[in-house]
Structure 1
Amino acid sequence: MSVKKEKPVKIKKCLSDRIADIAINGIAVLMIAAIVYPLWFIIIASFSNPADVANGEVWLWPKEWVLDGYRELFRQSEIWRSYGNTIFYTVAGTFAALLINIPAGYAMSRKDMMGRKWINLYYLIPMFVSGGLIPVYLVVQQFNLIDSVWVMILPFSVSTYNIIVARTFFHTSIPEGLWEAAQIDGCGTIRYFFLFALPLSKAIIAVIGLWTAVGIWNSWFNALIYLQDESLQPLQLLLRRILISNQSLLGAATGEMAADLRRVSDMMKYASIVISTVPIMCLYPLLQKYFNQGVMIGAIKE
């Protein structure tokens, strides 16, 4: 005896609903275009003649393919070393931040933790009241971290905001019954964290990891303050030094030489933006699944 499958009932939308859908989709498309087009324009401008860009002749595609900006940029002998420094600081700094902030957030989410309220207050005060640049510099100097690779990793690995987000995630996403069941089986706190809580926290790990990686990759001020040795400086600081040097040469040049220097300087400016942002942007598609989930869950108030 065959069973007839019921066809899904199609709900017809009224005219007002259709108009609302069109309006919402149109606004979404405009918002996406407003975000994507500036990024695309920077990319095509880095391959275009600066004169065409200045005259408004470059819109969706380069009018003339020019690679002088990238050639001049990669002629700098220090750029590959600075690239390696940035990658090392990003990977090691992200690992250190996860190693510190995730366990701290889990510990602060436990209701049976002694002195939990006072520890929360202890973490919150520096979030609103900073010691200032000079006291922080003196502390870093006393630990002999000036001109050291660790100055870009250890002193700024603790983030109160990330700890609070992790605490909220553990409190709202992992059921308390799981901890009680683990206790019955003789599981301790540390074992429970590594065997149960941590495997269920891929979303918040991806979120904090991405936030930290983007922050370290784009950071240049800490390197400017604490790293005087040029062999340890990251990519962003090298690009800043190259652009400032080009501007100084441009101010001293005259005539045809000034026009050539301005052309090369403009092309290097766009090329430096591309090579310093594209690698970190490639991480987002890999972490998008966990990133969206972690942001929504971590945003729930305790």
Structure 2
Amino acid sequence: MVKWTSSNMPSQKGRSAVVTGTGGLGFETALALAQAGAEVIIAGRNPKKGVVAVAAILETVPAADVRFEALDLASLASVADFGRRLRNQRLSLDILINNAGVMRPPKRRMTEDGFELQLGTNYLGHFALTAHLMPLLRQSKSARVLTLSSIAARQGAIDFNDLNAEVNYRPMPVYAQSKLACLMFALELQRRSEAAGWGVTSLASHPGLSRTNLLYNSAGRWSSVGILRSLLGFMFQPVAHGAWPTLFAATSPLAQPGNYIGPERMSETRGYPTLAKMPAPALDQADAKRLWELSETLTGVRFW
């Protein structure tokens, strides 16, 4: 692939985007899309951070069409309410970027609906969000759904016998499971869109190692691994560069349906966007189908 950066992004004028997450990768993604002319809706659970993010974008791009909407991915009721609001406000949506996440709480925590926090926020919340926004996405002439995974997905495994980590909670393996689930969702969404004629393109990306809010503000910050990562933060690429794979997948004509995009250098930890190596479990279509059907049951949503 070419040495692509956000400066290579085609004009997004006339296109609309929802980006989950108010800081880090979410902010940089929203900023770049606004700079390219897109209408951007930043969705997050903290209104104060949302106001700050919108103000920062407007300071850089005074003419930006950007606003904040409240969305708590750890609450299925909040996700459903967000979907209803957007369906009442607009007729279509062109880009959905499933970005926000939680990383490695040292102790097991739960969402409002009783799911393990990482599974519920990183994966199930975005699964439900995509379903609620699918009617809008299907009205777009060229909708894309971009779901963020992680290089941690390489170590991930879907434990169907303990998906909610009730028996065995270990922060990193559970985080890796949630990010593998995100990748499997992106691939299965593409297969189902093609089979049903939804006209929605699904892709996945990962940011490599970037100095994101997850690095400094995650619930696991004061764990030994969190402290190490904070101290060695200088080794991580700038967060704006970490957003490049997402922006490439969401906007570039070179990105193809079902692609998984990550950085090109140093075992996909940094660099320009390129095709990422797909973890073997992500290619198991039987497990992807099983996970999808289980996720519909757990979240109470259906795609149409």
**Greater relative CO, 1 or 2 (CA 8 Å, sep 6+):** 1
Q: Give the alignment's TM-score, normalised by structure 1.
A: 0.25
**Which structure is higher in strand share?**
2
* Rg (Cα) greater in structure: 1
